[in-house]
Amino acid sequence: MLTHVFIIVFGAAVGSFLNVVIFRLNSGESFLGGESRCFSCGKKLKWRELVPVFSFLIQKGRCRGCGSKISWQYPAVEIITGVLFLATFQLSKFNFDSCDICWFLYPYIWLLVSLLIIIAVYDLRHFIIPNKIVWIFNVLAFLNLLAHTKYAKPGFAFLSGVVFFLFFAALWFLSKGKWMGFGDAKLALGLGWLLGPVKTFSAFLISFWLGAFVGLLLIVLKKGKYTMMSRIPFAPFLIAGSLLSFFINFDILSFFNF
Ligand SMILES: [Zn+2]
């Protein structure tokens, strides 16, 4: 129990750092160092104004200096990171049964999860996937192929990444970038390498179902603002589908009796 609380708190603290990365990415500012300031009034934030989630709740989502609203992104990313770190700790035992170096795999998978959170939130905000982050993710996913040669079939996992990439690249090419960005194809490469063929296929189906569902919901709920042709960022769906497929061990092929 204490371990679980510790992991959630640790995850929320990492999420707090991820927020800084998301806001400073491509802004020329360094991620480490520098002071945290209010975006509106520039007031320097004290440590008690930087406690994940709690500061936001206590200050009722407003800056102490000028009273302007603080973005929901802060507590949302902190909570999601905490929950995903715990989910990784609890559920990835299924995936790492045969490993001798599991203690090493948690930081590794937490790093991957963190990169995916940055990509998803950045895509939501800017409709673009940050190139540097997606390539760091892909290199780390490729290392996973090399590390699992003993008890898995890295050849199949490598191919599933390539097929996943080609599918999204084809959508990007055929629609001239309207349905899908090329960033989504790059992201699919690493996700495929990480998940292997069966889970990649599940991830693919789940993300399209999620995307279609949310797309329809937006069209119905926000009439006029969204149409069938509206662009929605796809990386959050691709990432949510991949994480669900990874965590739940949802084997969609056996589900349909293939
Ligand atoms: Zn302020």
Domain that holds residue 197: 99-258
pLDDT tens digits, one per residue of 2-45:
888 999 999 999 999 999 999 988 887 787 777 788 888 988 88
Same domain? For 16 and 76 the reply is yes
> Per-residue pLDDT averaged across 117-133, rounded?
95
Top-confidence residue, 124 or 230: 124
Number of C-alpha atoms within 13 angstroms, CB side, residue 143?
10
Q: What is the pTM of this model?
A: 0.89
44 CA to middle of ligand 1, Å? 9
> Within this chain, do residues 156 and 62 fall inside the same structural domain, yes or no?
no
Centre of ligand 1 to C-alpha 67, Å, is 6
Same domain, 239 and 117: yes
Measured in Å, residue 124 CA sits from the centre of ligand 1 at 24
Residue 33, sorted as left (phi over 0), alpha (psi -120 to 50) or beta, turns out to be left
Angle at which helices 182-221 and 154-174 pack, to 10 degrees? Answer: 60
Say whether both 75 and 130 belong to one domain. Answer: no
Can you give the pLDDT at residue 94? 46
Residue 258's pLDDT is 38
pLDDT at 16: 94
Q: Is the pLDDT of residue 218 over 80?
A: yes
Which of 69, 94, 119 is the C-terminal boundary of a domain?
Answer: 94
Alpha-helical runs (H) found in 92-179: 102-126, 131-147, 154-174
Query: For residue 37, how far is its CA from the centre of ligand 1 (angstroms)?
Result: 8
Q: What domain count does the chain have?
A: 2
pLDDT in the model for residue 11? 97
| 4 and 61 both lie in a single domain | yes
Same domain? For 196 and 154 the reply is yes
